[in-house]
Amino acid sequence: MTNIAKDPSNTYRKAYFDKLNGQISLLTGKFIPVFDVVPADAVTPYIILSSTILTPIANSDAFIYSGSVVIDIVTRFPTGGGQKLANDIANAVFEKILVRGNFHTDEDWNIYTSSLNDTRILESQSQTGYVIRKLITFKNSIQQL
């Protein structure tokens, strides 16, 4: 273990990106893309790796953080739509994220098993259609090695 604290932000986000990008497919042969920043030409459905929060946990022996990340599942329909597609994508996300054992380990970090903090649905009408977003917040403990 080291005596110098590091910021786990990049490693934390990359661990989630790697577990989701190219891994979620509900439509035959089409993977649902994962973005940090959504490009202007993005076509729904897609997943946004949204905000992360890291809070240090007081520990005299190690640098440990409590982390949370918001996964934003975006679906759009020409007119009113239902929540089924967003919920189906969420289920596939759960299968990749809510697993037992360590979530991610590398030479600098150990990210422990994920837990579900909360989920919520946002619905809105836009000029391009009816948007349904499912926001899922996961939590992890992160230890600097």
Q: Could you confirm whether domain 9-144 is CATH 2.102.10.10?
A: no
Q: Report domain extents, the chain.
A: 9-144
Q: Is 9 helix (H, G, I), strand (E, B) or coil?
A: helix
Between these two residues, 82 and 111, which has the higher pLDDT value? Answer: 111
Of the candidates 102, 126, 124, the residue with the CA atom closest to the CA atom of residue 113: 102
Diameter over CA atoms, the chain: 56
pTM: 0.92
Q: What is the pLDDT of residues 11-34, one digit of tens each?
A: 999 999 999 999 999 867 789 999
Q: What is the pLDDT of residues 55-87, one digit of tens each?
A: 999 887 889 999 999 999 999 999 877 899 999
